[in-house]
Structure 1
């Protein structure tokens, strides 16, 4: 059964720190409860994920995760050189990956080495290898968790308003060149995000109130409102972002 945004569960928490802690608890829970195989998780960028990475890197938290079973991917990436200050992978590496015992081969940064189109295809190949098939199958999700954010313009991952990638129906990874944000980007597409057991939106800050309301309504005129999952969708929001919901 496919879940759309109108049927997402909303959990309102005190602040951004509480949102990050709740996401950490979910991360630990999913890894512990999956009976076998790798746990594939797509990370997101932004300030709240940085808080999450810092929490997961704490020895008492990191010790609760069997990192040998975790395989990490990214929901999107700015097309910048490795180590660039705007790189999602650089932030994750600094705050988390350099501090936990995850095997290097189980971390899959989005490549930014040739052209965006070529590197999108390369990343799709990496995903297909991890999945064990070239075609997504119903009932066998690509990701155990997809973490997403919410922009004030309604974008999520790098699915920005007006971008051609919003209409992609087959490819798992696409290219976005938003007019309202810096850098060309690689991004998971709607089909790849939909192939998930759990999608979690991390939404914090009072500037997100209007878009969070539209997201919860499944407003298809904003990119985030079109997200679906073959599993569940959870919105973790702080009180500031929730507005009247809180």
Structure 2
């Protein structure tokens, strides 16, 4: 299986969200037709939630058989279940509460205040992932994993110059002393993310331009965690014009960098 890495540039944030939403709906239909089910790993952040809202508002939304879609998360803030800052809460408000999902297929991270500690929560989520994996694996088949990109180059809750980005054995880690509040979080590790067939990074805004440029220049994963993200089949960077401002010129050649819709 060959990996393809593409950058798709859109004029602005609304067109970016709408394009990714349309592509996602089409891909879910195709995957369900091929395999009978589909599995997506969601992210938070402004663009991650904007895409979910765009899916909700799409006229093609109900062409997906949502009862066959499995939902996981790439990371989560260690906050109470109903906290408005939780990725789960935002995703439910934006999309999940508006579609006919099978709730047994929705797998949020554990939440603070439910009688377990952070380390135990990470182990529980890893066990849940393993319980839905094929024999001999510790992870389900992830068809699409969404990622945002921080101005510092972080993905999920894997931050630069922290031990979490170098974890090679675990599928889920507990994060403490995060440089971005809240300090306690749960996150998939890079090997878990890279088990995905497709990794879709959605990047918007001038404040992300430097991080995107460094990511595409393959700077050390320890310094720029996003540079290590790679789907087994395809890695797509969906970006707006502002975020694309510092993409290295040598990556703007056919085969490495696309603008507009790719084939």
1:135 CA drift (Å): 2.5
Distance 2:163 2:246 in 1: 34
Distance 2:137 2:64 in 1: 30
Distance 1:33 1:45 in 2: 25
Q: Are 1:228 and 2:227 counterparts? A: no
Q: RMSD of aligned C-alpha atoms?
A: 1.8
Distance 2:81 2:205 in 1: 29
Structure 2 partner of 1:219: 219
Q: How does 1:143-182 map to 2 (within 5 A)?
A: 143-182=142-181
1:136 CA drift (Å): 4.9
SS of 1:131's equivalent? coil
Note the residue ranges of structure 2 that are not aligned, 5 or more in a row. 248-258
1:228 CA drift (Å): 2.3
Structure 2 partner of 1:119: 121
1:27-77 CA distances to partner (integer Å, 9 max, x unpaired)? Answer: 212211121232110000011122111121126232121101111100100
Structure 1 partner of 2:17: 20
Distance 2:27 2:133 in 1: 18
Distance 1:51 1:118 in 2: 31
Q: Does the aligned pair in 1 maintain the 2:129–2:138 contact within 8 Å? A: no
Distance 2:210 2:243 in 1: 9
Query: TM-score scaled to structure 1, two decimals?
Result: 0.91
Number of residue pairs aligned between Structure 1 and Structure 2? 240
Structure 2 partner of 1:80: 79
Runs of 4+ with deviation above 3 angstroms: none
SS of 1:200's equivalent? strand
Note the residue ranges of structure 1 that are not aligned, 5 or more in a row. none
Structure 2 partner of 1:90: 89
SS of 2:201's equivalent? strand
Distance 1:145 1:67 in 2: 15
Structure 2 partner of 1:242: 244
SS of 2:132's equivalent? helix
Q: How does 1:201-216 map to 2 (within 5 A)?
A: 201-216=201-216
Structure 2 partner of 1:53: 52
Distance 1:60 1:180 in 2: 39
Distance 1:179 1:77 in 2: 12
Distance 1:178 1:12 in 2: 34
Indicate the larger mover: 85-94 or 170-179: 170-179
Distance 1:11 1:197 in 2: 18
1:143-185 CA distances to partner (integer Å, 9 max, x unpaired)? Answer: 0000001101110100012322212112111122244211211
Distance 1:130 1:37 in 2: 15
1:213 CA drift (Å): 0.4
Q: Does the aligned pair in 2 maintain the 1:136–1:142 contact within 8 Å? A: no
Distance 2:35 2:50 in 1: 28
Distance 1:187 1:244 in 2: 28
